[in-house]
């Protein structure tokens, strides 16, 4: 994979609210019968508006699908858990209701014609570029919504958009704000540093039993153990329940027709190779010319002499992510590469080699090998994918039924191990875990953790879907919070004593060098006298907390940002990951007026979007504070994961 050319050319905007509800239109007179919500199905109230269980589950599932489509194979259970999609969905529904109420209070309205236009223009309801009533109804039927529900939801979406426009239309950014943002993004700092490693000091002293005991007493809080829980559980992997499941053609066709515009759209994309010569944007012309001339020579060999592009990439490319594969980048669509690279690649035909292309990463030759035209993948091409998806859904349901049956058997006196063994499954018995910590193979699940900690020892929980896998679990015991004894902690103690003493010795040596550097007026001079190596960092951007060669430290990064030509030496020693460092400014490079001018328009647009987002987010938060929002966490905790 290409690690540095490929990037998100269009920055992600933080979602202010999640427009979940699929909306529709009732001009054919289709209506819905709506039943009043039961008290237990209501998970939150916004004023007089309930957010019900089914509504939140649908919202969460839509988010799961959206992220799965974005992340593809990178959408692991761990990533899914870290996104906290249920909270995103709930926040989005709450924000939406608050904003709808406010829009109505302000007298905003959406006409029938506005609503009709948005539905007729929705690609999900079009065939060959024209609105298709049959497709429209099929999509709604698959989504289990009535046209009346859709009309109401879509009208409300448009109301929120209209309100957002009113709030953000007056937002602007000044030229000074734009310049400051560009400088902040493009300014680069290089520092010199001397590092004193704690690991170099840890063997220079003895550690006695008395040292360990004294350290233990002084740092006893480090050896505190929280309350923990020991469980045993049986998981019901979906793939174990797929055997014998048949999916008929009608189900596959219905799924395809309802989802083909959304899920099976193949964009125009190319498969290409490239050869890169890395050159910094600020490099002198001689350096740039050398890289350009080398690639021009390679291009001549490829075009005029028929030289093998892949072989030349292996020999000459400086893209470590692709050179061993002959510069292979795979297929990519528009928006995946930096603009000059993308423009050149998409102008080529299969077999053609580009002229030399300059990007912020250096100079490239690009050769396109294959092109995929934009199209909707036909049913036959994706039939297997759909069949597997539907089979997985049925298998997951079968796994849930099996877990429920085993729960019933176990609660009637059956042994959990015997019940599991009868299905060819095993009881897992992980080490005790503190509250909310993940269990091996299950990941993190707040509802599951809450249910475990609410159960008495010996209690068998109801079957629960944990990150997509059904689980049957029993609480074995709860271990109270406490502190490890000296003997229990002893194995860790010597390592930690040596580490801390090593860090302290490293700090003292660094402080001595800093004092000498102040006297000498230079870190380099003081380091040479002390026979210490001075290392120069790579270029450091203002954003982030990582300093190349040193590590991550907010305090160090802030101190570096304050260094000037008049005050190059940092006025204190910094300890990062146990090592002590003395730091001095080498060079600060700021963009020129010409470079700033080139970026003004693009940055103005980005800053304006960011500022509008901030203003609208603040407005949403303010309206939520004014409104009556009540969430029922106990009911939320009982809701199975999407």
Give the span between the Cα atoms of 235 and 396, in whole angstroms. 12
What is the C-alpha end-to-end distance of the chain, expressed in Å?
Answer: 31
The answer to whether the beta carbons of residues 508 and 575 sit under 8 Å apart is no
Rounded to 5 degrees, φ, ψ at 214 are: -65, -40
- Hey, what long-range contacts does 401-405 have (CB within 8 A, 24 or more apart)? 402/236, 402/241, 402/470, 403/234, 403/236, 403/463, 403/470, 403/471, 403/472, 404/463
Name the nearest CA neighbour of 613 among 105, 86, 17. 17
Handedness of CA 152, 156, 158, 159 (dihedral sign): positive
Residue spans of beta strands (DSSP E) within 82-212: 126-127, 130-131, 188-196
The answer to whether the beta carbons of residues 323 and 312 sit under 8 Å apart is no
Choosing among 3.10.50, 2.50.20, 3.10.450, 3.30.43, the CATH entry for 228-260+379-480 is 3.10.50
Query: 311-323: string of b/e by CB count within 10 Å (b at 16+)?
Result: ebbbebbebebbb
pTM over 0.75: no
Give the span between the Cα atoms of 542 and 412, in whole angstroms. 64
Give the span between the Cα atoms of 409 and 534, in whole angstroms. 70
C-alpha distance from residue 343 to each of 270, 393, 601, 603 (Å): 12, 41, 20, 21
Predicted local distance difference test score (pLDDT) of residue 38: 54
* Each residue's pLDDT tens digit, 413-424: 778 899 999 999
* Each residue's pLDDT tens digit, 572-615: 999 999 999 999 999 988 888 988 999 999 999 989 999 999 99
* Each residue's pLDDT tens digit, 323-332: 888 999 988 8
Residue spans of beta strands (DSSP E) within 35-145: 42-46, 49-52, 126-127, 130-131
Give the span between the Cα atoms of 329 and 367, in whole angstroms. 10
Predicted local distance difference test score (pLDDT) of residue 67: 84
Specify the DSSP element, H or E, that contains 496: helix 486-520
C-alpha distance from residue 552 to each of 109, 170, 505, 577, 583 (Å): 51, 39, 21, 8, 14
The answer to whether the beta carbons of residues 570 and 584 sit under 8 Å apart is yes
Rounded to 5 degrees, φ, ψ at 191 are: -125, 160
Tabulate helix, strand, coil % of the chain (nearest 5): 50, 20, 30
Predicted local distance difference test score (pLDDT) of residue 12: 31
Which stretches in the chain have pLDDT values below 70? 1-40, 640-642
Q: What is the dihedral of CA 488, 491, 494, 499, to 10 degrees?
A: -110
Write the Ramachandran bin of 458: left for phi over 0, alpha for psi from -120 to 50, otherwise beta: left
Task: Check for a shared fold between 228-260+379-480 and 268-373.
Answer: yes
Give the span between the Cα atoms of 99 and 357, in whole angstroms. 48
Considering only the top CATH level, what class is 39-171+609-637? mainly alpha
At residue 553, the 3 state secondary structure works out as coil
Task: List the alpha helices (DSSP H) in 169-248.
Answer: 175-186, 209-218
Which burial class, exposed, middle or buried, applies to 36 when counting CB atoms under 10 A from its CB (0-12, 13-18, 19+)? exposed
Which burial class, exposed, middle or buried, applies to 481 when counting CB atoms under 10 A from its CB (0-12, 13-18, 19+)? exposed
Give the span between the Cα atoms of 406 and 423, in whole angstroms. 9
The half-sphere exposure of 418 on its side-chain side, counting CA atoms within 13 A, is 7
Give the span between the Cα atoms of 62 and 22, in whole angstroms. 10
User: Position of tokens 């091409």?
Assistant: 381
Show me where the domains of the chain are located.
Answer: 39-171+609-637, 188-220+489-589, 228-260+379-480, 268-373
CATH topology of domain 268-373: Chitinase A; domain 3 (3.10.50)
């Amino acid at each position: 994979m290409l690690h540095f050319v490929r990037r998100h050319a269009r920055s992600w905007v933080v979602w202010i609210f999640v427009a979940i509800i699929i909306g529709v239109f009732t001009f054919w007179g289709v209506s819905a019968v709506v039943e009043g919500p039961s008290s237990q199905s209501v998970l939150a109230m916004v004023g007089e508006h309930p957010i019900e269980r089914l509504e939140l589950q649908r919202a969460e599932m839509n988010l799961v699908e959206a992220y799965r489509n974005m992340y593809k194979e990178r959408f692991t259970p761990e990533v899914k858990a870290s996104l906290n999609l249920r909270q995103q969905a709930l926040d989005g529904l709450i924000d939406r209701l608050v904003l709808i109420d406010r829009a109505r209070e302000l007298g905003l309205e959406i006409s029938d014609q506005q609503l009709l236009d948005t539905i007729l223009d929705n690609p999900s309801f079009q065939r060959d570029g024209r609105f298709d009533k049959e497709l429209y109804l099929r999509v709604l039927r698959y989504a289990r919504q009535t046209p009346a529900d859709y009309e109401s939801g879509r009208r409300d979406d448009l109301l929120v958009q209209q309100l957002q426009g009113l709030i953000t239309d007056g937002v602007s950014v000044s030229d000074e704000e734009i310049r400051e943002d560009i400088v902040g993004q493009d300014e680069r700092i290089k520092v010199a540093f001397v590092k004193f490693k704690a690991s170099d000091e840890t063997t220079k002293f003895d550690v006695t039993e008395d040292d360990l005991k004294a350290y233990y007493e002084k740092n006893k809080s480090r050896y505190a153990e929280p309350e923990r829980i020991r469980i045993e559980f049986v998981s019901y992997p979906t793939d174990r329940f797929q055997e014998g499941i048949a999916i008929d053609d009608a189900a596959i066709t219905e799924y395809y027709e309802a989802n083909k515009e959304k899920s099976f759209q193949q964009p125009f994309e190319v498969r290409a190779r490239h050869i890169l010569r890395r050159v910094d944007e600020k490099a002198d012309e001689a350096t740039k010319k050398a890289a350009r001339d080398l690639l021009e020579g390679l291009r001549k060999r490829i075009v005029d002499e028929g030289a093998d592009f892949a072989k030349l990439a292996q020999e000459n490319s400086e893209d470590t992510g692709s050179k061993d594969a002959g510069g292979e980048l795979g297929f990519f669509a528009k928006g995946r590469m930096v603009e000059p690279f993308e423009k050149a690649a998409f102008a080529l035909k299969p077999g053609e080699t580009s002229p030399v292309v300059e990007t912020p990463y250096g100079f490239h030759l690009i050769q396109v090998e294959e092109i995929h035209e934009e199209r909707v993948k036909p049913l036959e091409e994706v039939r297997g994918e759909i069949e597997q998806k539907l089979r997985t859904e049925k298998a997951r349901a079968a796994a849930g039924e099996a877990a429920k049956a085993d729960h019933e058997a176990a609660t009637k006196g059956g042994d959990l191990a015997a019940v599991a063994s009868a299905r060819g499954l095993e009881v897992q018995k992980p080490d005790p875990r503190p509250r909310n910590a993940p269990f091996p193979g299950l990941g993190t699940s707040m509802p599951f953790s809450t249910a475990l900690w609410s159960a008495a020892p010996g209690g068998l929980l109801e079957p629960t879907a944990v990150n997509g896998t059904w689980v049957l679990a029993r609480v074995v015991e709860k271990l109270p919070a406490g502190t490890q004894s000296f003997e229990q902690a002893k194995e860790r103690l010597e390592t930690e004593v040596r580490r801390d003493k090593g860090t302290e010795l490293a700090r003292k040596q660094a402080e001595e060098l800093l004092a000498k550097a102040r006297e000498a007026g230079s870190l380099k001079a003081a380091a040479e006298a002390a026979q210490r190596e001075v290392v120069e960092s790579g270029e450091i951007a203002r954003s982030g907390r990582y300093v190349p060669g040193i590590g991550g430290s907010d305090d160090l990064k802030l101190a570096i940002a304050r260094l000037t030509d008049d005050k190059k030496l940092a006025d204190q020693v910094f300890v990062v990951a146990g090592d002590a460092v003395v730091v001095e400014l080498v060079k600060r490079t700021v963009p020129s007026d010409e470079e700033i001018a080139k970026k003004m328009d693009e940055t103005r647009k980005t800053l304006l979007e960011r500022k509008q987002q901030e203003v609208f987010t603040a407005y949403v938060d303010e309206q939520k504070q004014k409104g009556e929002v009540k969430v029922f966490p106990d009911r939320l905790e009982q809701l199975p994961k999407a």
